[in-house]
Chains A and B, each alone.
Chain A
Amino acid sequence: MVYLTRKAEFAASHYYHNPEFTPEENRRIFGKCNNPNGHGHNYTLEVTVKGEVDPRSGFVVDLKHLKEVLNREVLDAMDHRFLNKEVPEFFTRIPTTENLAISIWQRLAPKLTTAHLHRVRVYETPDLFVDFYGEA
């Protein structure tokens, strides 16, 4: 089994707000992140796939395929977007780094045919990242 990691970057804005909380609760729980005008990050995404090395190609996965899926399913949808307003799953789900990692997994997993998704890692900043392994 070999693990392969592909890195990508995207820039997006978001804010944290739960309509079921009172304005005071939203401010207390989410702090500055509750500002409805949003704020942004340069996100770094690391997608790790695993599989046996194909004896004919020497690949775990065709990187070109992985890159195309990543661009189409994630970057086209999220890069230079306001996540709460432009990415459908975040109309209802709060776009925290945790939920971003889950959402990216859910976008990629069904589209990767030749390799198994092992881990999605999303860096919100260099000192904060989330790993999602597809666990319920």
Chain B
Amino acid sequence: MKAHLTRRYMFSASHRLHSDAMSDAENATTYGKCNNPYGHGHNYALEITVSGPVDESTGMVCNLTDLDTFVEKEILDRFHLQNLNTVPEFGQAVPTTENLSTSIYDILQRGFTHAHLEKVRIEETMMNSFEYAGGNEIRK
């Protein structure tokens, strides 16, 4: 039988929202306080949902140790306590939480093979969150 498993992780990082495609005035208008050249930070909560048939011999969709090990090495080591503007994944992209969601989704999609990736959800603050399922509809 198919089940969905969601694991929640925390990481902290700083960023500055600034687009080279805009003038300074446009950047200031578009991003407001987030355009501060010195940056600012958040405690991000990351939820990763994977799915698959529950293995009868283990009772699991996938072994949590495999997911935790992958996330620690490929995501948390890369983003936790970093300035997102300096993380290569973003290149020239603005490190909004939208772009962070798609980057993290892509890292998992490329490298995590133990279960099917359903979606990534990120809370930037307690007041806003972002979900990405690779372009698929999000199931509630």
Interface residues of A (CB under 8 A from B): 3, 16, 18, 20-21, 29-31, 93-99, 101-102, 119, 126-133, 135-136
Contact = CB atoms under 8 A, between A and B. Distances in A.
Closest 4 CB pairs of A and B: A94-B59, A96-B59, A127-B8, A131-B4
Contact of B59 (A99, A128, A131): A99
A97 B5 contact: yes
Interface string B39-69: 0000000000100001001111101110000
Interface of B: 1-9, 49, 54, 57-61, 63-65, 139-140
23 contacts: A18-B57, A21-B57, A29-B58, A30-B58, A93-B59, A96-B58, A96-B59, A98-B3, A98-B5, A98-B54, A98-B59, A102-B3, A102-B54, A127-B9, A128-B7, A128-B8, A130-B3, A130-B4, A131-B4, A132-B1, A132-B3, A132-B4, A136-B2
Contacts of A29: 58, 63
A128 B64 contact: yes
B1 A135 contact: yes
Contacts, number: 63
Nearest to B8: A127
A20 B59 CA distance: 13
Contacts of B4: 130-133
Contact of A98 (B57, B61, B139): B61
B74 to A, nearest CB: 18
A126 B140 contact: no
A98 B6 contact: no
